[in-house]
Structure 1
């Protein structure tokens, strides 16, 4: 086997929201191809690795990525060609050193991450394994429970819903096939329930869920509960929030938006705590601002009926997760490798979480793609549950199909049992 890198080549393509992104091909001397691209999010933490764009207003409104493509072809490629593709840590470190900045600002986090994925996939190909089995170090035993983003918050014409995502999770499903069907059936039934509530069909939101019918989170949860009950799934589907509170946080007044009012962190914590005592919440993500280190430990201490996870708060950064663990701020984090910029750094953060009994929840980004590497990570790392997005657009459906396919192709594979993680 000759696993030395023969070529590294990048191009510009577009994500599901028609925003340009970098795609990289890595080919070994044996002809093994690995391909990677870097989706980006809508809710982006201030500590994420830099997404390098051209800022040319004449092309894609400034979002083109030709500089990033050139950085791969002219700077990264010469440094990697001839190296052994299976030495992921060394190759990622070469790119980190070439960039020389904490947030990968020189070459671009999207540049480095796309290359890192391509290297990872080429290494799996060279070993004649699926990437998820390559990650697992053998055959997988389970696939994670999917979760579904069904109602989207944000600013709408007649209201603002401060919580970004209202999520359902079929934790009581007997198989991945039933879990997918439960999520889809509930999502489709929810449209009817919201239509009855509003008197007209809900709008499709930018993240493909239904636009929030109310600025009151509890109204949305009641509508979701009604849809679940109509489908006969009560007691088998739980809830989750991605609050994305940094998006609605006012630094000058140190307040958060809630039902049209500005409130303190303590008030927000108290309100969400009551919701978790009334509804079956699997997790609450980004309850507070990404720099609210003072309030997160309070929230974690008070909210005993759910798991508190950090996304923008942690940005898959090992040092931030260590700090959160030391001050007892969280139960876990959202694993988004592009936030930190290489597969190696993302896996280092995951390993710390695993060693300290913290939950790691892989998630795609809003600007998703077919064949997102996050699914290989989710299955290969054998996590309990993941974030899939709304069951509506192709790249999100692809994630569901990935889980069913991986399960079918692996004799004895089952849906993960997440009952030990539930606190309600």
Structure 2
């Protein structure tokens, strides 16, 4: 089948927060088609690709008409005739056309939707599911990832009702992706019941986790442990806790303002507080424990706890291969979050994951808080053999679409393709559970 790009069409669609976003459909000369939608984050690193929004008063300044115009005009003109099978070449053309460090000319939203749509079109031309096309394109071994699922949503995802952004669970002791979801479903329901019993059930946050009505950040951890136990699990055995601190969101001038608890911590005090949590709760993973500009803090935290927990750079690394290499040299973090819209193109995201593996880091493919029915990241996590997938919570259709897609892929690959606890072998969980349990 002829795989030269014939046409691009952009349209305005809507994300899970009811905000406008960009969808792109790519058609190839041979008739194959691909479609993808750009997600949007609420908690954003300052060095990640930026969405192009129209500004003004209409739709709170969030409309995307200029980004649509860029796709239908400049981007279409630049990509027409290029071979969709050459993802790197297509993405290089996009990057050159934009010409800015943060994709501000064309818009990160326009670029990521286009890049992903081309990937889908190439898979369609090959007659392969996207995960298989990705595995074949990047010479990877496909696997079903370990899910990381939000139970309580905080920070920018929940009106900053608590300072910590995500309180999540992982089930590394599960024997299949389906079993991991089943255990998580029980924990999610138990957490909701506990909140109701306490008279603190007030709905859900942006990503579908329970809205946190707590008197302290640590109370959320205590409640999460109680929910795991109420679901019939022993915390630290099959089930562990993962946190996204998103510390950049409440850091200023080298200090950390915990608004819920009305106190301000130095970098050292922040590290000490998180260390006390690691010692008291079955925490196997922490994302962005310090701010993106707190290099010394990230290095100190990794030195102190990197042999016990997975330390993920999100705002700190913004899906950037050069930043991963620099962090490895500094010995900051030991894992990187992969957000395709944070980089702006598929190729840059793949390069970042490759840099992570070179550094001995783990990789976690991730959704954003503003999501849609697009399931590209489910396929990317499988086809890139990433090992972990972070989508949000266990409710809301834009989240469940991605979890359910992994179940369908597992039917094709088989339960033996599920990675289980493999991504956490170098944490306390994989070393005999001697700490934090």
Question: 1:162 is paired with a residue of what secondary structure?
Answer: coil
Matched, 1:240 2:242: yes
Between 1:138-147 and 1:164-173, the stretch displaced more is: 138-147
Question: 2:413 is paired with a residue of what secondary structure?
Answer: coil
Q: What is aligned with 1:277?
A: 279
Question: 2:147 is paired with a residue of what secondary structure?
Answer: coil
1:331 pairs with 314, 326, 334, which one?
334
Q: What is aligned with 1:85?
A: 84
Q: What is aligned with 1:144?
A: 145
User: For residues 195 and 150 of structure 1, what CA distance do their matches in structure 2 show?
Assistant: 14
User: For residues 10 and 160 of structure 1, what CA distance do their matches in structure 2 show?
Assistant: 37
User: For residues 20 and 293 of structure 1, what CA distance do their matches in structure 2 show?
Assistant: 35
User: For residues 415 and 228 of structure 2, what CA distance do their matches in structure 1 show?
Assistant: 30
Q: What is aligned with 2:357?
A: 354
CA displacement at 1:74 relative to structure 2 = 0.9
CA displacement at 1:299 relative to structure 2 = 0.5
User: For residues 11 and 100 of structure 1, what CA distance do their matches in structure 2 show?
Assistant: 24
1:284-305 CA distance string (max 9 Å, x none) = 0011111111111000011142
Q: What is aligned with 1:297?
A: 299
Give the 5 Å matches for 1:1-20: 1-20=1-20
Contact 1:139 1:410 in 2 (8 A): no
User: For residues 9 and 382 of structure 2, what CA distance do their matches in structure 1 show?
Assistant: 28
Q: What is aligned with 1:319?
A: 322
Q: TM-score, normalised by structure 1?
A: 0.95
2:311 pairs with 308, 313, 327, which one?
308
CA displacement at 1:412 relative to structure 2 = 5.7
Task: Work out the number of aligned pairs and report it.
Answer: 421
341 and 139 in structure 1: CA distance in 2 versus 1, 3 angstrom threshold: closer
1:309-341 CA distance string (max 9 Å, x none) = 110111101111111111000111111010110
Contact 2:248 2:292 in 1 (8 A): yes
Contact 1:384 1:418 in 2 (8 A): no
Q: TM-score, normalised by structure 2?
A: 0.92
Q: What is aligned with 2:428?
A: 423
CA displacement at 1:397 relative to structure 2 = 0.6
1:50-104 CA distance string (max 9 Å, x none) = 100111312x111110100000111010111111111111111111111111111
User: For residues 84 and 156 of structure 1, what CA distance do their matches in structure 2 show?
Assistant: 39
Between 1:155-164 and 1:399-408, the stretch displaced more is: 155-164
The RMSD of aligned alpha carbons is 1.9
Q: What is aligned with 1:108?
A: 107
User: For residues 306 and 113 of structure 1, what CA distance do their matches in structure 2 show?
Assistant: 31
1:155-200 CA distance string (max 9 Å, x none) = 899984210110011111111111111111110111111222x334
User: For residues 188 and 72 of structure 2, what CA distance do their matches in structure 1 show?
Assistant: 43
